[in-house]
Structure 1
Amino acid sequence: MECPGKNSSLGNHTALVEFILIGFSDVPNLQGFLFGVFLIIYVFILMGNSLIIMITKIDPSLQTPMYFFLRNFSFLEICYVSVTVPRLLTDLCRQYGNIALLDCAIQMYFFLILVDTECFILTAMAYDRYVAICNPLLYPVIMNSRLCTQLAAVCWTTAIPMHTLFISVVFSSNFCGCNQLNHFFCDAPPVVQLICGDAFMVEMLTYAVAALGASIPSFLILGSYVKIISSILKLPSATGRAKAFSTCSSHLTVVTLFFASGIIVYMKPKSTYSTGMDKFLSLFYTILVPMFNPIIYSLRNKDVMVALGKFLQKWIVL
């Protein structure tokens, strides 16, 4: 059933109290299959990241700043997927997705905070690699435990005031007419599209928040890697260059996957808005990328693989 436009007469007289998350209801025959797939992915993400947290916490050889930030990142991934996936699984199970405005606001609030927190933690990880490669002799002095704790605290708290303001502005606006979100969770772009009347200021605020939360960290990461690559290319040994590149490859892969899909969704012009494509891209960076992260950080990291082997061997013996 088609929704009336947001400027229609219905939209001018009927205030909304809930949204309907369309999700994957357009493929009813695949509901059970999708439920199974997403449940398996969710369990894998929880187990994979929990395993990384345990290994980096108990193994003496992994008590370094790089693995401190990886531990924060893995915990973040657990929180990140838990904001959207349980709700998605519930909607697939009951085959409808009614969500109250307050619940929608809460979900969007925590999702956006965690998205920006991920951007900031990836930036802190890039800075860690920059110091390790460009200033190796000063690395233990610069990346001391106090600085690492302070950076982590900044990463986890910086987005809170920004998104408190953003959510307040969005949900103090009037929603009317169509209450259907062609999405599987309350993401900012599709919700803003349902604001009545002229939503220009809210749309500009959405772009500004996206720029602050994603574009600035991406430029900082890019700047770090420009200096990292420049330093690596100056190394006289091919073996040394390969080893230096290997310490950055996992992080760079995750950064590319996450930022590419996220920036496309949040920074593209309204004229190119496509709910179907946005839903696919959101599925990519909210579920698939977190699924790949434990694999990327374990299979492409010899230290983690060795620690994982010792951990599994210990539990098998027990």
Structure 2
Amino acid sequence: MQLKLISIVLILHCMEYTDCQQNPPRHRQHKQSPGVSWGCHGGCLTCSAANGCLSCKPRFFFFLERSGMRQVGVCVSSCPSGYYGTRSRSPDMNKCTKCGLSNCDSCFNKNFCMRCKEGYYLYHGKCHVTCPEGLIPSTMQRECVHDCTEGCEDCLNEDSCTRCRSGLYLLQGQCTQTCPSNFEPKEQLRECTPQVPCDVGEWSDWSPCSRRGKTCGFKRGEESRGRDILRQASPHADACPPTTETRKCVVKRKRCPGRRKGERRHRKNRKEEGQDSQQEHAEAGELEDHEELESRNKTEHRRRRGQSREAVLPTEGAVH
């Protein structure tokens, strides 16, 4: 009898467990829902189907977002406009807190604003409809700023500009049309920045003396050396100096290893041909000199014969 009662209890328990798995009640869903896996998304650490996120992962902020007539918890990496993030000792309890100033668009804490809503101007962490005396409202920045000098777009005071208008360049708190010597304009920053000179390394050692890619078989050749550019010059600075240079060199003539006998015989023949050519030119020159000397001798002989005839003619006239 006792065994039958135990069997009946086990069967009823099994039926209840199966029914719970197929149709889990609402309260049991809520107990199962907190966790990392099902139903949670984004930065949620725990959540429920009815209330959304219940806690957040580290570095996320918990924020109650309105959805119709109710609020749903969400986890965000940064708080929305009009709120600031506060961190607690427990990382899953970081939350977004509403700014204490209604006209503040973004705040650092409850009472210190960083950006005002449209129509208000920031001054010392507060939002004002009108700026204090000596300051003017900046619609773009939504701040109370100093009345800058002509050509200045933003400034610390009347004598110190922080940003110039288009076409002008900032230099030591003043706006100028052209940058002075040793400075160059930066269009995006609208500033005059110092020129960056070129920087080169040390010269390398001279290369071996060579000629036409060879290091033997000659007496006069060239050697070269180089250096690296360590830093390129800025656009308006002087260009970098030469990085390579060559010079003439003289070495003791040495025979190239591995030269074939035919090549040496060919060079010897060419040398002998050159000597023969020089000898032929010399002989031709001597022949020309000999012919010229003979021509001069013939001319001189004719001149002397003419003088002899002139001396004989008067004597023959006297005989007749």
TM-score by length of 2: 0.16
Question: Of the two, which has the highest radius of gyration?
Answer: 2
More helix by share: 1
Structure showing greater relative contact order (alpha-carbon pairs closer than 8 Å, 6 or more residues apart): 1
More strand by share: 2
TM-score by length of 1: 0.16
